[in-house]
Amino acid sequence: MSEQQNPSREQFKRTMKARHLVMLSLGGVIGTGLFFNTGYIISTTGAAGTLLAYLIGALVVWLVMVCLGELSVAMPETGAFHVYAARYISPATGYTVAWLYWLTWTVALGSSFTAAGFCMQYWFPQVPVWIWCLVFCVAIYLLNIISTRFFAEGEFWFSLIKVITIIAFIVLGAAAMFGFIPLKDGSAAPGLSNLTQHGWLPHGVLPIIMTMVAVNFAFSGTELIGIAAGETENPQKVLPLAIRTTVARLIIFFVGTVLVLAALIPMDQAGIVKSPFVLVFEKIGIPWAADVVNFVILTAILSAANSGLYASGRMLWSLANEKTLPRCFARVNKRGVPQLAITVSMLGGVLALLSSVIAPDTVFVALSAISGFAVVAVWLSICASHYLFRRRHLAQGRALSELAYRAPFYPLTPILGFALCLLACVGLAFDPSQRIALWCGIPFVLFCYAAYAVTHKKTQAEEANDAA
């Protein structure tokens, strides 16, 4: 799509630099999934199994990101992957992917504000959670509405706090593992003994497949690089750099963190309510461990909400820009911000917040299941779009040298990425606690396809009337 065909895109400001893009992606990824879910995965698969699961997750992230990298550099669009899905798979698929991704982040907004309220109650137990939710709603909304650069700077500092904490955690934890820092209870340094204490895979291979979606959820957010492509300075240069550095840092942070957690926390102590990070800080004897971790988790939650409102607002803008929503959602203000799209997304987050309080066992559980399923569905669409994009590029007689960035090992890269994402979806069927994601997610996908068919016919009829 040329610039002339898409004039509204000109109103976006290309103000994001490489450091903003990397931190935006890291901010979307490093969240409560890493801080809490890792304990559950260790207790389910064992220490070695958890490392293997996260290594497979890191491979999937790399495969998806290099596919997205080729697409984003060739066509730097705001809204990115749903535009690619519409162009190279089908318009109905692009429409479905956009709504799935919008719902993912909008539901995450509601749960993030609730979780942030609970974090604040740790220090201020007398203040109701809803007051903190309101405060954070206003703060995140203002960060997004003032300007894209203001949002990016806020996200940069949110993410920096988390990154510094993760690095400190890995360094201190590794020192405790090998006896450079004595453990608080005076016990001997465990080294790597906890990794194999219960055998390499105490529960077999199936738990690894079952937890692959949980691992993929923990890595979700890397694809935000594609969302921000249309607002990035010099995307042909910045996007490949951001993808390389983001994936490399994620592998170091996640695998390094999991190695320290698995080495310091025996399998039978993992998976309890307390964050595994708190357990490790307490073992090392860090003062105010619970306060430190509570502050970092609060930062992580607000960072994820900040990224989530950005992503969901751009998705609504992009749907309107593709003429599948009213054009009013495609308007941006003089600061290059899609104000109406962001406002409606924030209202969706508030509704999700209400559902988490009013109907936590029904509506909110179903919405959360759909949002989790949606992340993997979006990754599937990225791999499929890339495979079809490269095929069409070559079929048109165009040279590979025209592509400023090329995913390596094509066609293995998109095929393997698609297969591993599909395997993660299949793994959901074997886990009773996660199976609801399929029961809710698949009907929602079918509903989106049906809704597209209805709205598309209506749009065609209106265009025919206008032409007449």
Q: Which of 435, 463, 423 is nearest to 212 (CA)?
A: 423
Q: Which of 337, 293, 341 is nearest to 320 (CA)?
A: 341
Partners of 16 in beta bridges: 232
Own/partner pairs for 127-134, CB < 8 Å, 24+ apart?
Answer: 133/353
| Average pLDDT of adjacent 10-residue blocks, the chain of 468 residues | 40 55 63 62 71 83 87 74 88 89 80 80 84 87 77 74 81 82 73 67 68 70 65 68 74 80 68 61 74 81 81 81 78 79 84 68 64 83 94 90 87 93 81 76 90 77 58
- Tell me which amino acid residue 225 is: I
Contacts of 411 (CB under 8 A, 6+ apart): 387, 390
DSSP H or E segment with residue 245: helix 235-264
pLDDT at 459: 64
pLDDT at 2: 38
Encoded tokens for 312: 């969901």
Q: Is the preceding peptide bond at 411 cis, omega within 30 degrees of 0? A: yes
- Tell me which amino acid residue 424 is: A
pLDDT at 35: 63
**Domains defined along the chain, listed by start:** 18-395+409-455 (1.20.1740.10)
189-224 burial: b if 16+ Cβ within 10 Å, else e: bbeeebbeebeeebbeeebbbbbbbbbbbbbbbbbb
pLDDT at 368: 63
Contacts of 10 (CB under 8 A, 6+ apart): 3
The rounded radius of gyration (Å) of the Cα atoms in the chain is 22
pLDDT at 9: 43
Q: How far apart are CA 301 and CA 256, in angstroms?
A: 21
Distances (CA, A) of 280 to 54, 176, 262, 270: 19, 9, 10, 11
SS3 state of residue 232: strand
Q: How far apart are CA 137 and CA 139, in angstroms?
A: 6
pLDDT at 449: 92
Q: How far apart are CA 78 and CA 72, in angstroms?
A: 10
